[in-house]
Structure 1
Amino acid sequence: MTGFEKLNEEKVFKDPVHRYIHVRDRLIWELIGTPEFQRLRRIRQLGTTFLTFHGAEHSRFGHSLGVYEIARRVIDIFKSRGDWDDSETMLSLCAALLHDVGHGPFSHSFEKVFGTNHEQFTQKIILGDTEIHRVLAQVSPDFPKKVADVIGKTYENRLVVSLISSQIDADRMDYLLRDAYFTGVSYGHFDMERIWRVMRPVGDQIVFKSSGMHAVEDYIMSRYQMYWQVYFHPVTRSAEVILTQILHRAKRLYNEGFSFKNVPLQMVSLFEGKMSLKDYLRLDESVIMYYFQVWQDEEDEILRDLCSRFMNRRLFKYMQLSKDQLYADEELSGAFREAGIDPEYYLEVDSSSDCPYDFYRPGEEEERRPIQLKMPDGSLHELSRESDVVGAITGKRRTDHKLYFPKDMVLSLPDDLPAKKRIIELLHI
């Protein structure tokens, strides 16, 4: 194998989470310099969260470097104990670095509207006609396929996969700490170095010394708190609802032959459902935000209003829904129509759901494999059986439902309009 050459001098990135990110391998340095990886600088890690927490402007570029650095440090610890097959090191580091390279702009909202899948695009970038593929292929013709298999969770060495994809992996450890840092919240902090010290490769999985159980508990609770306090924040979800509706509206207008003043040339293949890898790689958040900016002057009133709301942070308000109210009822939709407000774009039920920790059940994905504690006698015990804290939340899926609507638009309706009175009564505003 070629491609494992060391750099003449170590490269160092200053990082607010890990202090320093060290690059010693020419292969990693060349991957970071590819256009496909540099594109991640133009995609935010947390999508619309910057409209809630103003510090959340960090990119998937920084996160990807962080995941690489965690994987590198964990492997160094394993190697120092003789617990690691060094022939898997570069593969693991490449997979850690490239695991998010296929993310699109505002990725989850984007995927929902256009049916794209960032993991599939990650594999296409690694295996397709790209600079990343050419760099990886320097190692050997089958090396890009191995990297794609690790990210796709199909690689034969499950230990390598679990380093990148499991209930405690390099990806989650980095994003919890990084997202907590940039949002300014205290929930996402846990003792990562302690977790590294108690990690042990056993067979095809990573387990944890029982003496480190409290550090693992802390990590699980940090993840739980971050989901409900940051990732599912109702203001962020409101911005996502508007973003999604803009994309739906633009796609519909294009397909109906609407004459845009500013034709979204970079999005045409997306609207037509035939986006190539080359087209996809040209899309980033600066492109999308440009169109949102200029569409504030379009003739279509709905597109114009939604874009203005997103760009100027005039977001929808929300009403909490109970489990048996998972839709905007017909009376409310009818009142909106009567008032001249299109319920298809201005009434949206949004559901958030998370299970902080669960057992692995046969047939489920890799991420659901249980966290195992290695006891002093060498036996493995599943975490929730030893930890009362984790046991209390294991397998418990928390779900939240909210109805989003433009309160300002409703209140600006004429007071003598019967539909306005009905809407106010139904929405309790």
Structure 2
Amino acid sequence: MANGKLSEEKVFKDPVHRYIHVRDKLIWELIGTSEFQRLRRIRQLGTTYLTFHGAEHSRFNHSLGVYEIVRRIVDDIFKGRPEWNDEERLLCLCAALLHDLGHGPFSHSFEKVFHLDHEDFTQAIIVGNTEVNKVLRTMGDDFPKKVAEVIDKTYQNKQVISLISSQIDADRMDYLQRDAYYTGVSYGHFDMERILRVMRPREDQVVIKNSGMHAVEDYIMSRYQMYWQVYFHPVTRSAEVILTKILHRAKHLHHEFYTFKQDPIHFYSIFEDEVTLEDYLRLDESIINYYFQAWQDEEDPILKDLCRRFNNRNLFKYVEFNPNVQMMTLIELTSLFKKAGIDPDYYLVVDSSSDLPYDFYRPGEEEERLPIHLLMANGDLRELSRESEIVDAISGKRRTDHKLYFPLDLIEDFSTKRTAKKRILELLKI
């Protein structure tokens, strides 16, 4: 090892990028930390494996992929360009590698139940008393703080942030292709090689040469299709509904002083809203799955049933639901479920999915999105939707989908509640 480089390059075989190259000692040591290795035990797509059986890939896979895309950009595309400061290289690589470090088991579903934010935990791991922090501090005591600022989108050089987090960043470019590969669908494929070749550094952002506009259009449409065909698949959402209800039920029982056969010791601090970083890092999907397996034998009928459903993929059925016109239907269904002895808090759930595939800049709005800019032949910058009719057609247009989830098997078992059963099936149009 000399000048921070490994004496011999390390290479990971990868199904998306073919090879992932590690030449820096710092990156190699970060990969070896316990906090980064934990990502092997957290799936990239949560419950999607119950819909697309190949979707077993991990946050570890994805994080390496994002690192590799950024490495190619800063080493092959930006290097030597006057608008790029090569002193930011290692900062970019570390932020790319560590950007998902704080994800919990089943990621977004887990966060939603316990009101947590994986980016907050990512930053806490980076600046806290961790192996990752110790490795980063070999670059200087302020280096972990800089990496955390990139994750937090507060770092002074917005150009660095845009590589990791923007409407066309390394994170999205990797997960679209990786998720498409492991789910076996064709939607997420786009010409990344073309996009990388036409990326250019500019002050406070990364821009795309106008000649690459059609590749960017393809990328945006690929993202749109992946969200509605894969990420928001109704069967996956059914599994997420059951998953979240299990966690809600376990928390409720804990606060009711229920005596668990398998005591949820790993959840104590989370249930009490006093989770520490140490507690959080102990959680991964193997731990969650262990409890779900054990809780199938609990005395509580709701927790037992929900865990059996999740483990055996006996998921809820669903129908389309319009909250603007069907709220009275939901109220009546809730009443009928209660009369039938089925708790609607756990067995009658409206789930909504929403996505905004591309947006131009709307200053002052929540979650401001910096637009994609095209670099024109004369050196001017033009916002993408001003040049692309395809992107203009979907810009700023949020699509939202609502489903009503319920256990059809329990409804059909209403042998002694025939009137309620008939009315429920009528309301659900089954």
Question: Could you tell me how far apart the structure 2 residues matched to 1:326 and 1:78 are?
Answer: 54
1:417 CA displacement: 2.6
Aligned position for 1:132: 132
Residue matched to 2:419: 418
1:379 and 2:380 are equivalent in the alignment: yes
Q: 1:399 to 1:272 in 2, by over 3 A?
A: same
Whichever residue aligns with residue 227 of structure 1, its letter is Y
The match for 2:74 is 75
1:195 match: secondary structure: helix
Whether the 8 Å CA contact 2:180–2:186 is kept in 1: the answer is yes
Query: Is this contact kept in 2: 1:162–1:366, CA < 8 A?
Result: no
| Aligned CA distance change for structure 1 residues 115 and 43 (closer, same or farther; 3 Å) | same
1:416: Cα distance to partner? Answer: 5.2
> What is the aligned partner in structure 2 of residue 198 from structure 1?
198
Structure 1 residues 323-364: Cα deviation after superposition (integer angstroms, max 9, x where no partner): 514656221101001111100000000001001000111135
Q: Which residue of the partner structure matches residue 234 of structure 1?
A: 234
The one-letter code sitting in structure 2 at the alignment partner of 1:6 is K
Distance 2:158 2:334 in 1: 50
| Partner in structure 2 of residue 103 of structure 1 | 103
Aligned residue identity for 1:283: L
Q: For residue 309 of structure 1, what is the aligned residue in structure 2?
A: 309
Name 1:299's counterpart in structure 2.
299
Q: Is the 8 A contact 1:4 1:26 kept in 2?
A: no
The answer as to whether partners of 2:242 and 2:315 remain within 8 angstroms in 1 is yes
- How many residues align? The count is 428
| Equivalent-residue separation in structure 1 for 2:14 and 2:80 (angstroms) | 25
| Structure 2 unaligned residues grouped into runs of 5+ | none
Secondary structure of the residue that 1:211 maps to in structure 2? helix
Equivalent runs, 1:25-104 vs 2, <5 Å: 25-76=24-75, 77-104=77-104
Unaligned runs of 5+ in 1: none
CA contact (8 A) 2:119 2:152 kept: yes
For each residue in 1:360-390, what CA deviation from the matched residue of structure 2 results, as whole angstroms up to 9, or x when unmatched? 1113577711111111111111111111111
Q: Is the 8 A contact 1:351 1:400 kept in 2?
A: yes
What residue number does 1:401 align with? 402
> Residue 403 of structure 1 aligns to a residue in which SS?
strand
**Coordinate RMSD, CA, aligned:** 1.5
Q: Is the 8 A contact 1:4 1:27 kept in 2?
A: no
Corresponding position of 1:388: 389
Q: Contact between 1:166 and 1:366, CA under 8 Å: does it hold in 2? A: no
- Partners of 1:404 and 1:325 lie apart in 2 by 17
What whole-Å deviation, never above 9, does each CA across 1:205-240 have from its counterpart, x for those lacking one? 111111110000000000000000000000000000
Match of 1:344, SS? helix
- Do the aligned partners of residues 160 and 246 (structure 1) sit closer, same or farther apart at CA in structure 2, a change above 3 Å counting? same
In the alignment, which residue of structure 1 is the partner of 2:17? 18
Matched, 1:339 2:340: yes
Percent identical? 72
8 Å Cα contact 1:165-1:366 kept in structure 2? no
- Per-residue deviation, 1:70: 0.3
| Aligned residue in 2 for 1:180 | 180
Query: Conserved in 2, the CA contact under 8 Å of 1:167 and 1:367?
Result: no
Q: Residue 368 of structure 1 aligns to a residue in which SS?
A: coil
Measured after TM superposition, the shift of residue 122 of structure 1 is: 0.2
Is contact 1:317-1:405 (8 Å) kept?
yes
Deviation for aligned residue 1:322: 2.1
Between the aligned partners of 1:365 and 1:166, the Cα distance in structure 2 is 15
Distance 2:109 2:116 in 1: 10
Aligned partners of 1:361, 1:168: CA distance in 2, in Å?
17
State the secondary structure of the residue aligned to 1:137: helix
SS at 2:354 equivalent = strand
What is the CA–CA distance in structure 2 between the aligned matches of 1:268 and 1:325, rounded to whole Å? Answer: 41
SS of residue matched to 2:78: helix
- Structure 1 residues 23 and 367: CA distance shift in structure 2, 3 A: farther
Q: Please list the CA deviations of residues 164-202 of structure 1 after superposition, one character each: whole Å capped at 9, or x if unmatched.
A: 010000100000000000000000000001001111111
Question: Could you report, residue by residue, the CA deviation over 1:367-426 in whole angstroms, capped at 9, with x for unpaired residues?
Answer: 711111111111111111111111111111111001000011101210653211111111
SS at match of 1:329: helix
CA distance in 2, matches of 1:79, 1:7: 20
1:211 and 2:211 are equivalent in the alignment? yes
Match of 1:121 in 2: 121
Normalised by the length of structure 1, the TM-score is: 0.98
Local SS of the residue matching 1:373: strand
Name the SS for the 2:361 alignment partner: coil
1:6 aligns with 2:8: no
What is the TM-score of this pair, normalised by structure 2?
Answer: 0.97
Counterpart for residue 282 of structure 2: 282
Q: Distance in 2 between the 1:173 and 1:82 partners?
A: 25
